[in-house]
């Protein structure tokens, strides 16, 4: 049982005993507030604090300090050195120092497993993210989604959730037609034919690269076939090439998926079936030759077309079929990560799911605000090379995968992100990613040297020797780690972990200043080696959740 749970229980028991002793009276309908234990903002306020007395002032009809006094007198725990009443009625708990050492010893003995919480045995949660069209390169906006999604997947798995990561490939519909026409035009052009480039085609350089690769592998054999045959070939070859490029970039960016779901598999059967079910339920109607979803019945601003006048299903129709499919796969929860520019789309998808009889609340849509790149203080809008939105691979080349991921994960998802390219490239403590990585490298360096000097960690270091404030701070930070993972998972907030890595690195650097390992007597050296061993593990583990490497030397 964790010390927090012990304190919580003791507080509740004390509160209940004040009632049974007749000190305070409460109405039958009242229930005790939840005990909120927090680490106080200042060290002087103890190891844990609760505002329970203030929270219960109302139902006890008494002032918080009086209540706190009664609670204080009833809580007797061997782990607690003293309890103080402070401020408006805070109860501050000061633990016996041995408690933190006992806890730290457990962490130490847990070794590399620290940071992996027990499996929650939940129904698998599906997280769908990136899902960029296979018609061009991933750009930095996709990069932020990729970093956030993969970090959330990692964090939730560490928190003990069962997770399946999925990529939805929009390999059907309009944009594939545009891709086909564009690749076709570039193919012919590169082989010396005169072509009119399609008006709505994709102009970027990467399409030319795709056409080049097709020529490399297939040669000019599609020059002398029918238009139809060539277009079919261009569609499949172009698609294959684009998808391969996407996967290449994602892999380089340390992003992995358990499942790649092709939109094509929904056409036409699943799409038709979804529409038929909606028709049966009477939420589809015909108007001006098109089929409309009556999404206004479910809170949408207006009704939406699902089948166009020309008989083609809209993107929404496929998306309804896709989400229906997801619900039918029986996940406990469905999480989508979308760009902020898609927020207007939520109401209609949820409307369709509700109409189909699913619990739309199970579908959780997280939004990512936009990314703006800055170089020398100036907003960078376009890639010089491609003339288009900045490709993720250019960012990776410029600042590296570690810095790109770390910077993407520094801010909460619903803050717009200003990405400072100059800062991300700096090799100094100004650059937060180096700052954290350096802490890890420093520890590894100490281990290399102590190994040479035959300073031993041993199996059972005496951690009670770690009494310097810098040591205590570091121990406490380490002890917080699993709770931080839990919170980050619950709030889908990877930036909490990013922040945590910066904080623990700062505490380690302070420790490094104050506490030497080489040159102190061996029992103390051993305890300190134990402390930094766990520190290194936690930093590496936390960076791992973010998809950032932890180098052993820099």
Which 299-338 positions form the footprint of RNA (CB under 7 A)?
301-302, 304-305, 308-310, 312, 314-316
Binding test (CB under 7 A) with RNA, winner from 12, 26, 77, 86: 86
If the CB atoms of residues 37 and 188 are measured against RNA, the closer one turns out to be 37
| Complex with RNA: residue 328 or 430, whichever CB lies closer | 430
Shortest distance in whole angstroms from residue 51 CB to RNA: 4
Residue 260 binding RNA, by CB under 7 A: no
Helix 522-546 × helix 432-452 angle, to 10°: 140
Residue with tokens 């605000």: 369
Nearer to RNA, 20 or 310 (CB): 310
Q: Is 30 in the site for RNA (CB under 7 A)?
A: no
Output the smallest distance, CB 328 to RNA, in A: 22
- 159: tokens are 């928190």
CA distance 549 to 71: 48
Q: Which stretch binds RNA (CB under 7 A): 71-79, 111-119, 216-224, 516-524?
A: 516-524
- Work out whether 296 is an interface residue with RNA (CB under 7 A): no
**Whole-number Å distance between alpha carbons of 378 and 394:** 17
Q: Which residues pair with 43 in a beta bridge?
A: none
Q: Determine which residue in the list 288, 359, 378, 521 makes contact with RNA, applying CB under 7 A.
A: 288
Identify the residue among 284, 515, 543, 545 touching RNA (CB under 7 A): 515
Beta strands at 163-169 and 125-128: parallel, antiparallel or unpaired:
parallel
Cis peptide upstream of residue 236 (ω within 30 degrees of 0): no
Report if residue 92 touches RNA, rule: CB under 7 A: yes
CA separation for the pair 164, 150 (Å, rounded): 11
Contact window for RNA (CB under 7 A) among 2-10, 153-161, 212-220, 498-506: 498-506
Q: Does 456 bind RNA (CB under 7 A)?
A: no
Residue 214 binds to RNA (criterion: CB under 7 A): no
Rule CB under 7 A: is residue 13 a binding residue for RNA? no
Question: Which of 42, 43, 24, 40 has its CA nearest to residue 32?
Answer: 24
Q: In the bound complex, what is the minimum distance in angstroms from residue 79's beta carbon to RNA?
A: 18
How far is C-alpha 249 from the chain's CA centre? 19
- Asked if residue 266 lies in contact with residue 146, where contact means CB atoms within 8 angstroms, the answer is no
CA–CA gap between residue 399 and residue 416 (Å, rounded): 20
* 168 belongs to the binding site for RNA (CB under 7 A): no
502 forms part of the interface with RNA (CB under 7 A):
yes
170 near RNA, judged by CB under 7 A: yes
- What is the SS3 string spanning 355-376? HCCCCHHHEEEEEECCEEEEEC
Contact pick of 400, 506, 533, 544 for RNA (by CB under 7 A): 506
CA–CA distance, 126 with 322 (Å, rounded to integer): 13
User: In the complex with RNA, which residue's Cβ is closer, 234 or 446?
Assistant: 446
* Sheet hosting strand 125-128, strand order edge to edge: 259-262, 163-169, 125-128, 333-339, 363-368
Label the pairing between strands 259-262 and 363-368: unpaired
User: Residue 541 and residue 459: Cα distance in Å, rounded?
Assistant: 22
Task: By CB under 7 A, tell whether 500 contacts RNA.
Answer: no
Q: Tell whether residue 369 is a contact of RNA (CB under 7 A).
A: yes
Q: Is 283 in the site for RNA (CB under 7 A)?
A: no
Other CB atoms within 10 A of residue 153 CB:
25
Q: Of these, 87, 111, 219, 458, which contacts RNA (CB under 7 A)?
A: 87
Contact call for residue 94 and RNA (CB under 7 A): no
Beta-bridge mates of residue 375: 378
Strand order in the sheet with 378-380: 378-380, 371-375, 417-420
Check binding of 361 to RNA (CB under 7 A).
Answer: no
* Residue 412 in the binding site for RNA (CB under 7 A): yes
Among 114, 406, 438, 463, interactor with RNA by CB under 7 A: 438
Q: Quick one: 188 or 373, whose CB is closer to RNA?
A: 373
Count of residues of this chain found to bind RNA when the rule CB under 7 A is applied: 90
Q: Are 319 and 325 in contact (CB under 8 A)?
A: no
Indicate the residue among 156 and 410 with the shorter CB distance to RNA: 410
Question: Applying CB under 7 A, does 40 fall inside the site for RNA?
Answer: yes
Phi, then psi, of 284 in degrees rounded to 5: -120, 135
- 3 state DSSP class of 3: helix
Footprint (CB under 7 A) of RNA, residues 418-437: 418, 423, 427-430, 432, 434-435
CB atoms within 10 A of CB 388: 16
| 383 binding RNA? (CB under 7 A) | no
Which of 215/506 has CB closer to RNA?
A: 506
Q: State which of positions 44-73 bind RNA (CB under 7 A).
A: 45, 49, 51, 54-55, 57-58, 64
Query: Is residue 388 part of the contact set for RNA (CB under 7 A)?
Result: no
């Amino acid at each position: 049982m964790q010390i927090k749970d012990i304190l919580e229980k003791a507080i509740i028991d004390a509160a209940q005993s004040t009632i049974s002793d007749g000190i305070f009276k409460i109405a039958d309908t009242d229930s005790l507030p939840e005990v909120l234990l927090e680490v106080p903002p200042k060290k002087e306020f103890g190891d844990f604090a609760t505002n329970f007395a203030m929270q219960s002032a109302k139902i006890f009809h008494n002032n918080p300090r009086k209540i706190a006094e009664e609670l204080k007198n009833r809580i007797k725990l061997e782990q607690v050195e003293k309890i103080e009443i402070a401020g408006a009625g805070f109860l501050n708990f000061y633990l016996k120092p041995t408690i933190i050492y006992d806890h730290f010893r457990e962490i130490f003995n847990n070794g590399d497993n620290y940071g992996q919480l027990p499996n929650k045995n939940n129904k698998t949660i599906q997280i769908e993210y990136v899902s960029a069209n296979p018609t061009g390169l991933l750009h930095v906006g996709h990069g932020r989604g990729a970093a956030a999604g993969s970090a959330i997947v990692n964090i939730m798995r560490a928190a003990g959730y069962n997770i399946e990561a999925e990529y939805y490939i929009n390999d059907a519909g309009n944009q594939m037609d545009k891709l086909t026409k564009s690749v076709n035009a570039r193919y012919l052009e590169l082989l010396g034919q005169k072509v009119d480039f399609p008006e709505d085609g994709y102009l970027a350089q990467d399409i030319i690269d795709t056409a080049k690769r097709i020529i490399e592998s297939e040669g000019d054999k599609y020059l002398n076939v029918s238009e139809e045959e060539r277009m079919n070939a261009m569609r499949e070859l172009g698609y294959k090439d684009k998808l391969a490029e996407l996967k290449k970039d994602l892999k380089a960016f340390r992003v992995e998926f358990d499942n790649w779901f092709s939109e094509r598999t929904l056409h036409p059967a699943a799409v038709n079936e979804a529409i038929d079910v909606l028709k049966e339920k009477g939420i589809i109607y015909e108007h001006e030759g098109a089929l409309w979803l009556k999404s206004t019945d479910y809170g949408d601003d207006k009704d939406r077309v699902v089948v166009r006048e020309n008989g083609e299903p809209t993107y929404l129709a496929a998306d309804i079929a896709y989400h229906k499919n997801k619900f039918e796969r029986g996940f406990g929860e469905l999480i989508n990560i979308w760009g902020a520019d898609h927020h207007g789309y939520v109401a209609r998808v949820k409307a369709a799911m509700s109409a189909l009889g699913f619990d739309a609340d199970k579908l959780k849509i997280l939004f990512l605000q936009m990314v703006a790149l800055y170089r020398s203080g100036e907003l960078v809008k376009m890639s010089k090379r491609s003339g288009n939105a900045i490709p993720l691979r250019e960012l990776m080349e410029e600042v590296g995968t570690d810095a790109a991921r770390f910077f993407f994960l520094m801010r909460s998802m619903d803050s717009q992100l200003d990405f400072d390219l100059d800062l991300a490239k700096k090799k100094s403590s100004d650059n937060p990613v180096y700052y954290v990585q350096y802490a890890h490298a420093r520890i590894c360096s100490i281990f290399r040297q102590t190994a040479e000097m035959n300073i031993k960690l041993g199996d059972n270091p005496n951690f009670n020797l770690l009494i310097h404030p810098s040591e205590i701070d570091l121990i406490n930070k380490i002890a917080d780690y699993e709770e931080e993972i839990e919170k980050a998972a619950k709030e889908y907030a990877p930036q909490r972990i990013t922040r945590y890595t910066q904080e623990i690195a700062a505490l380690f650097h302070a420790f490094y200043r104050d506490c030497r390992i080489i040159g102190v007597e061996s029992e103390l050296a051993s305890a300190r080696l134990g402390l930094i061993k766990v520190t290194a593990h936690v930093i590496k583990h936390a960076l791992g959740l973010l998809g950032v490497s932890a180098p052993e030397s820099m």
